[in-house]
Structure 1
Amino acid sequence: MVNKVIRPVFLSVLGLLWLVPVYLLIANASKLPGDYSSAEVWKPAFGGALLDNMRDVWERADLGSTVMSTLIYSVTGPLVGVLIGASVGFAIVALRLRHGFWWFVFIFGGTVFPLQMLLMPLFVGYAETGLYDTRIGLILVYTVISVPFSAFVMRNFFTGIAHHVFEAAVVDGASTWRIFWRIYLPMSKSAMVAVFILQATFIWNDLLLGLTLSQSNDVRPVMTALTALQSTYGGSAMPVVLAGGLLVSIPTVVLFLATQRIFSRGLALGQF
C-alpha cells in the first residue's frame, strides 16, 4: 500500500523537476528582447513574442539551410551506421565469425576514448584530405560514430535469435546475403529503429563536431548556427537565442512522440 502511494508521488516530483527547464525556456523565449532580465527569469511572459522571436532567429541565423544540412546528417549517418552495426552483429552471432568477440571489442572500443582526444587529428586529417567544411565529411564522421553503439545493440539482439533459424535457412538454400536481408533485418526492426532514434537525436544536438569540422552556413549543423547566433546577439537578445533553441528542439520531440511505442519495444528487445 505504501509503495502504491510513494511511487506515483516520486514519479510526479521527477516529472515536475523535468518540466522546470521547459518552463524557463518557454517563459523567457516568449519575452521581448528588452523585457529579458537575468533577475526575473522565473517571471512568466505576457508579451507573447515567442512566434516573433522564432521568426527573427529563423531569418537572421539562416536556419533554413542549417536545418536541412542537419536533417541530412541525422538521417544518413545513423541509417548507414545501423546497417553496418547490424552487419557486424550478424557476422559475429549468426556467421560465428572467428575471434568474433575480439572483433566486437575492437569496434566498440572506439567509444572508450573521449571525443575531445580525437578532434585535433580529425581536424588535421580533414584539412589534408579536403573533407573539411563539406557535407560528405560530416556524414562520414557521423556514420563512423554511430557504428559502435549500433553494433553493440544489434549483437545483443541477434544473440537472442536461435541459431537454428540460420541453419534452417541455409538448408532451404538461402544465401547468407538473403538470410541477412530477408530474415534477420525484419526480425530486428524494433531494435534498429530504437538505435536510429538515439543516434539521430545525438547528431541533431551535436555541437562539438560541427563546430570543429565545418564553417559554411550551408554545411554546419544547426546547433553551431545557434552558437554563432548567441555570440552575434549577445545577452541583450537572449529571448531570441532561447526561441531558436526551442525551435530546433521540436523535431526531436516530435520524433520521440511519434515513435515512442516502437522505441520502447526496441529498448526492451535490444537488451541494453
Structure 2
Amino acid sequence: MGRAGTVRKSFAALLGVVWLVPVYLIVVNAAKDRATYNQTSAWIPAGISGLWENLGIAWTSGHLAQSVSATAVYAIVAPALAVVIGAMAGYGIVALRLKHGFFWLIVIFASTVFPLQMLLMPLFIGYVDLNIYDTKFGLILVYTVMALAFSAFVMRNFFTGVAREMFEAAVVDGASAMRIFWRIYLPLATPALTAIFILQATGVWNDLLLGLTLSRSQEVRPLMASVASLQGVYGGTTMPVLLAAGLIVSVPTILLFLLTQRAFGRGLALGQF
C-alpha cells in the first residue's frame, strides 16, 4: 500500500471517529438515570442500568408506538409515489421528448427554491380549508410533493444515459409508451430508484417541521414531532429519557442504510447525483 493510500485510510478512520463521538455521547447518557446524569460528566459512562428504563419511559410517555407505525406508512408510501411519478416525469422529458421538456423540469425543480419555512403558513391554511389537516392522507400528500422534484431531476439525468435505440426498437415491435416505461425503463432504473427512495424515506422519517405544522393527534403525528413533544408536554421528562427517544428514532434509519448500502452505492453512481 502506497503512502497516499495510507493517508486516505487514516483520514477516513479519523472522520469515522469524529462521526461516532455524538453517537457515543447519546448512548452513554441515555443509559444514565436522573441522579447519575446530574452528578457525572457527560463524557464518563456510568453503566447501562438506566438504559432499558429510559427506553421504556420514552416509548410509553411519548406514545411512540403510534407515531412509529404512522411514520412507517409515511416513509414508505410517500417516497414510493415520488420515485414512480418522478420516473414518469423523467421518462416523458427524455424518452417521449416532451415539448419544452427542460422548461417543465425547471418548473418542477423550482419548488425547491423557496425555504420550507416560507411554505408552512400557506400549507397550514390550505390544509385547514381543504379539511385534510391532521390526516395521514395530508401528510402523505405533502411528503410526496416535497420528494417529487428531486426524484424527477435524478431520473431525468438517469434516462439521458439510456440509449435512444432501445426506445425506438420497442416502438417498432409495437409496444406502447406506457408498456415501454413499465417493462424497460423502470426496471433499468431500479438502482437509481432505490437510492432515491432511501434518501427520501430517511428525510420523511426525520421530518419535524411539517409534522408539527400539519398534525395534532397522536395517531397522525410523525415520530420526530412526538419526540419533540416529550420535552414540551411532559414536564417531568429528563434528558436521559429524551436521549433514549433519540436512540429509538435513529435505529431504523441506521438499519436501513446498513441493509441497503450496496444498492444505495450503485444508485448514487448510476443516478448521477
Q: How does 1:132-151 map to 2 (within 5 A)?
A: 132-151=133-152
Unaligned stretches of 5+ residues in structure 2:
none
Tell whether 2:265 aligns with 1:257: no
Which amino acid letter does the alignment assign opposite residue 168 of structure 2? E
Kept after mapping to 2: 8 A contact 1:34/1:237: no
Q: Output the amino acid matched with 1:19.
A: L
Structure 1 portions without partners, runs of 5+: none
CA distance in 2, matches of 1:231, 1:42: 26
C-alpha distance in 2 between matches for 1:46 and 1:180? 56
**CA shift digits 1:121-141 (9 cap, x unpaired):** 111001111011111110100
Match of residue 213 from structure 1 = 214
Shift of 1:7: 1.1
Shift of 1:263: 0.5
Give the letter aligned to residue 161 of structure 2.
Answer: G
For 1:13, the aligned partner's letter is L
Q: Distance in 1 between matches of 2:52 and 2:271?
A: 40
Distance in 2 (CA, whole Å) between partners of 1:230 and 1:244 is 11
Whether 1:164 and 2:201 are equivalent positions in the alignment is no
Once the two structures are TM-superposed, the CA of residue 36 in structure 1 deviates from its matched residue by 1.2
Identify if the C-alpha distance between structure 1 residues 162 and 247 changes in structure 2 by more than 3 Å, giving closer, same or farther: same
Number of equivalences: 272
Partner of 1:126: 127
Q: Do the aligned residues in 1 keep the contact of 2:25 with 2:42 (CA within 8 Å)?
A: yes
TM-superposed CA distance for 1:38, in Å, is: 8.6
Counterpart AA for 2:160: T
Residue in 1 that maps onto 2:35: 34
TM-score, L = length of structure 1:
0.97
Q: AA paired with 1:109?
A: A
CA contact (8 A) 1:30 1:53 kept: yes
1:203 alignment partner in structure 2: 204
Offset at residue 5 of structure 1 (A): 2.3
Letter in 1 for 2:5: K
Q: Which residue does the alignment assign to 2:118?
A: 117
Distance change in 2, residues 1:230/1:3 (3 Å): same
TM-score (norm 2): 0.97
Aligned-residue RMSD, C-alpha: 1.3
1:247 Cα offset (Å): 0.9
2:179 matched to which residue of 1? 178
2:239 match: 238
Q: Deviations over 1:230-268 (max 9, x none)?
A: 223458611011001101111111111111001100000
Instruction: Work out whether residues 131 and 137 of structure 1, in 8 Å CA contact, stay in contact via their aligned partners in 2.
Output: yes
CA deviation profile, 1:113-172 (whole Å, cap 9, x unmatched): 100111111110011110111111101000100100000110111010011100000000
Deviations 1:190-226 (A, max 9, x none): 1001000000000000000000000000000010000
1:57 touches 1:240 (CA, 8 Å); kept in 2? yes
